[in-house]
Amino acid sequence: MVRELKVVVVGAGAFGGWTALWLRRAGARVTLVDAWGPGNSRSSSGGETRIIRGIYGPDRIYVDWVARAFDLWQESEVRWGQRLCFPTGALWMFGGEDGYARAALPLLHAAGLPAAELSPADARRRFPQVCFDGIESVFYEERAGYLAARRACQAVAGAVAAEGGEVRELAARPGEIAGRAMRRLDLADGGGLAADVFVFACGPWLAELFPDVLGQLILPTRQEVFFFGTPAGSGARFGEGSFPVWMELGERGVFYGIPGNELRGFKVADDTRGEPFDPTSGERIASPLGLERVRGHLGRRFPELAGAPLLEARVCQYENSPDGHLLIDRHPRAGNVWLVGGGSGHGFKLGPALGEHVADLVLGRAVPNPQLSLARLRDIPAAAPRSQFSHRV
């Protein structure tokens, strides 16, 4: 019976936290463990904000998950009395091929997520803050926005504990696999933690914990994020109540940003994959070259912000799969072990819906999706990880 099933979830980020919560709500005995705690600054779910948007090219699975996630984020805000989702809308700008957005529009409409193409003239009138030089097509998502990432991770973990689960700050590694099963985790203090089922949602540490299975199939890369100061009194032009999150895909690469960030500044980031990164011991100091590249783009696209002062900079990481899709599958030699990861810079928003799906897999209520399988990763030729957008453009 579900109430007798003991599950340990390793990793209290967006994937692990929501998985643990759904399992607990189904009646399982759940322990959620994380080496540094929910939303910590080493994790891929750390930091303050993440975009939530529905345009995902032709990939229906993600569009449907986003639609479900929107509802679950909003339900959770009411349940917990915390604001987690900030609806700003999303502005998509393309300097060339725009099939990624066009393929998504009918899927968004079917999922109840309003989105439409804007003519360049309409875009200029609606968003005079933006210089649209070099932009060939524009799309706008009405329901998109951003999420309070760190706060959400802590809220989810708090709900796991409040609803009868256990949350522990532990350094753990996979235990021995024998008889096609794992029986316990090995803890750093020499102890162990036994369970019937284990879910490893360890973000950039997933391949490190399972090198024989994943090797370089999940690769952490170093990413930089910058927050710039807007002119005094410019909230009506660049604040989150008046300006949307934005993405730009063009010849110069892929850039994205979030306005306001609860007064942290105008967030801008380059989505180009960085060099391999050690999430445990890597230094998190932004580079002068990264700042120069982002500042140059900021000035071209938002002329009023040319020369804007840097308020904060942050180094995080993506954990990339070769094709940018997620990994949700059983361990090939242990039927009671699930591997969940490969967020590739776009997974956080999906957390509530993805966790619901993983919980259903653990409980035998769903079957794995071949699109997210381990086998498909092994069939992909080795290549540099792509942008979170480019594998679907």
**Token pair for residue 240?**
């989150």
Better-predicted residue by pLDDT, 81 or 380: 81
Class of residue 12 by CB neighbours under 10 A (exposed 0-12, middle 13-18, buried 19+): buried
Q: Which of 304, 307, 242 is nearest to 91 (CA)?
A: 242
The reported pLDDT for the residue numbered 336 is 98
CA nearest neighbour of 197 among 30, 46, 384, 17: 30
CA dist 299 and 228 (Å) reads 11
Per-residue buried b or exposed e for 370-385, using 16+ beta carbons within 10 Å of the residue's own CB:
eebbbebbeeeeeeeb
Residue 387's pLDDT is 53
Spatial contact of 80 and 151, defined as CB atoms under 8 Å apart: no
The string of pLDDT tens digits covering residues 10-46 is 999 999 999 999 999 999 999 999 999 999 999 999 9
What is d(CA 109, CA 60) in angstroms, rounded to the nearest whole number? 12
pLDDT, one tens digit per residue, over 97-154 is: 999 999 999 999 999 999 999 998 999 999 999 999 999 999 999 999 999 999 999 9
Is the distance from CB of 113 to CB of 120 less than 8 angstroms? no
What residues contact residue 44 under an 8 Å CB cut-off, 6+ apart? 13, 203, 204, 279, 316, 317, 318, 319, 343, 347, 348
Q: Given a cut of 70, is residue 290 above it in pLDDT?
A: yes
At residue 129, the pLDDT reads 96
Residue 252, pLDDT score? 81
User: Is 59:72 a contact under the CB 8 Å cutoff?
Assistant: no
Query: Would you state the pLDDT for residue 96?
Result: 94
Q: Is the pLDDT of residue 80 over 80?
A: yes
Q: Which residue is it, tokens 């030729």? A: 381
Average pLDDT, the chain: 94
With a CB cutoff of 8 Å and minimum separation 6, the contacts of 296 are none
Per-residue pLDDT tens digits for 230-265? 999 998 899 988 999 999 999 888 999 999 888 899
Look at residue 161 and tell me whether its pLDDT is greater than 60: yes
What is the C-alpha separation between 335 and 19, in angstroms, rounded? Answer: 18
Give the 3-state secondary structure of the chain. CHHHCEEEEECCCHHHHHHHHHHHHCCCEEEEEECCCCCCCCCCCCCCEEEECCCECECHHHHHHHHHHHHHHHHHHHHHCCCCEEECCEEEEECCCCHHHHHHHHHHHHCCCCEEEECHHHHHHHCCCCCCCCCCEEEEECCCEEEEHHHHHHHHHHHHHHCCCEEEECCEEECCEECCEECEEEECCCCEEECCEEEECCHHHHHHHCHHHHCCCCEEEEEEEEEECCCCCCHHHHCCCCCCEEEEEECCEEEEEECCCCCCCEEEEECCCCCECCCCCCCCCCCHHHHHHHHHHHHHHCHHHCCCCEEEEEEEEEEECCCCCCEEEEECCEEEEEEEECCCCCCHHHHHHHHHHHHHHHCCCCCCCHHHCHHHHHCCCCCCCCCCCHHHC
List the structure tokens of 35.
């080496």
Tell which residue, 385, 335, 343, 386, has the closest CA to residue 362.
Answer: 335
Share of the chain above pLDDT 90, in %: 90
